[in-house]
Copies of this chain bind each other. A is one copy, B any other.
């Protein structure tokens, strides 16, 4: 029997790439990337296409959600706000309002149109950035909204296989599944060489260190 089709939200970051590796074990892949005017948009797009070359998905789709840049209110999309280099106690300025709600909505529309039965998203709530739209309670509520808001014959379920893993465990899983970490991009700040100082670089570097592995991408620092 043919495997079912899964939409994978692929930002081209480390977590989403491991998530794609997990999805590929049991599903045909439809890789979805969203461009939303984030600082490192072009680098992420380049990595997305490299990851498509690696994963050879059945379908891929790049959706433009530039309204997120127009809406602003985040240091990722508003270049007048600095990217923080220290950990913040409250929700960090890199939080993009309801970004995962928007990503999951686009994924749902595409999944319904192409007949996919799963949406994979690489969020994790351990070692995460404190974004409210990365929590299990959010995914659970959104999953219910999908069930209520799509056709009766549509059965789309959100899968978040990394939700309860630490960053270190995510890397170990990726190594086991041969995720091409060298093709991924996590830095919030730069588009050439990762800065090594932003919160996203720090989380990534710490994770590789804890896993006793060397991150294959170069860093400024």
- Residue ranges of A at the interface with B (Cβ–Cβ < 8 Å): 61, 63-68, 70-73, 91, 95-102, 104-106, 108-110, 112-113, 132-133, 135, 137-138, 140-142, 144-152
Number of copies: 2
Interface-central residue, A65, A70, A73, by most chain B CB under 10 Å: A65
| With A98-B150, A132-B152, A151-B132: A68-B145 Cβ-Cβ less than 8 Å | no
Smallest CB separation, A25 vs chain B (Å): 26
* Chain B residues whose C-beta falls within 8 Å of the C-beta of A104 in the assembled complex: 105
For the complex, give the distance between the alpha carbons of A141 and B100 in Å.
16
Which of B102, B132, B138 is within 8 Å of A105, CB to CB?
B102
Chain B residues within an 8 Å CB radius of A63: 67, 70
Beta-carbon nearest neighbor of A144 in chain B: B141
Contacts of A64 in B (CB 8 A): 64, 66-67
The 8 Å CB contact of A149, one of B68, B142, B146, is B142
Q: Please, how many angstroms separate the alpha-carbon atoms of A109 and B112 in the complex?
A: 23
| A148–B141 CB distance below 8 A | yes
Query: Measured between alpha carbons, how far is A147 from B144 in the docked complex, in Å?
Result: 14
| CB atoms of A145 and B150 under 8 A apart | no
Q: A138: which of B65, B137, B145 is its contact (CB, 8 Å)? A: B145
State whether B71 touches A110 (Cβ < 8 A).
yes
With A97-B109, A102-B106 given, can you name 20 additional A-B contacts, CB distance below 8 Å? Answer: A61-B70, A63-B67, A64-B67, A71-B109, A71-B113, A73-B112, A91-B151, A95-B151, A98-B112, A99-B109, A102-B102, A132-B151, A133-B148, A135-B148, A137-B148, A138-B148, A138-B149, A141-B141, A141-B145, A144-B145
| Chain B residue at minimal CB-CB distance from A95 | B151
B145 and A145 within 8 A (CB): yes
- Nearest chain B CB to A67's CB is how many angstroms away? 4
